[in-house]
Amino acid sequence: MPVLLGAVLGYLLGAVPVGLIAGRLTRGIDIREYGSHRTGATNALRTLGTRTAAVVFVLDVAKGVVAVLAARLLVSGDPLVEWGAATAGFAAIVGHNWSVFIRFTGGRGVSTSAGALGAMSPWTLVVIAPIVFAVVWRWRYVSLGSIVGALSAPVVTALLAAVGAASVPAIAYAAASGLLVTVAHGDNIGRLRAGTERKVGHKEAVSGNG
């Protein structure tokens, strides 16, 4: 029951299409028609500007955090509470990437996965965040930083668990979410290999009224 509740709750929270809503409200556009055709913060930055993208990022992160915390609250006292929380965090990414509210389209799950990771294993986020920022700063590819963070998260979480600073459900979450986020970047990986990936600062031409 905790796992099922976590899955349903997490998916519905993650499925709220923050980026799409922000595009409609601020520019009267569907950001899925531009750039990467995704609803996440990176495409929002290219199409809607820095301020709106920052709001999208914060709210997408919040979806992951709230999913984990809400699952813990709903099934508090149950021995499987952390597994329910981990499931909720993972389901939030699924909801973000394939939202039932927008015909199963969405983002790549980076911000939402980071939020849930911070709630499941905050020390993992503390360790990998500087690595991700360093990669993005050095090579100017958000996608590359996201992939590096996704793949390093389960390794770091496992090491933290070995010293009692993380849980087994947190390791499972980090592994599952890392794989999902990496798979969601399949097209980015192809462009990185071809040398055609968009770098930080790339803007999309968008008319004021869409």
pLDDT digits (tens, 9 = 90+) for 85-144: 999 999 999 999 999 999 999 999 999 999 999 999 999 999 999 999 999 999 999 999
Cα→Cα distances 117→54, 71, 150, 156, Å: 19, 14, 10, 12
Q: How confident is the model at residue 75 (pLDDT cuts 50, 70, 90)?
A: confident
Q: Are 145 and 133 in contact (CB under 8 A)?
A: yes
Q: Are 65 and 115 in contact (CB under 8 A)?
A: yes
Residue range 9-67, pLDDT digits in tens: 999 999 999 999 999 999 999 999 999 999 999 999 999 999 999 999 999 999 999 99
Strand partners, 105: 99
Strand partners, 99: 105
φ, ψ of residue 50 in degrees (nearest 5)? -65, -50
Instruction: Calculate Rg over the CA atoms of the chain.
Output: 17
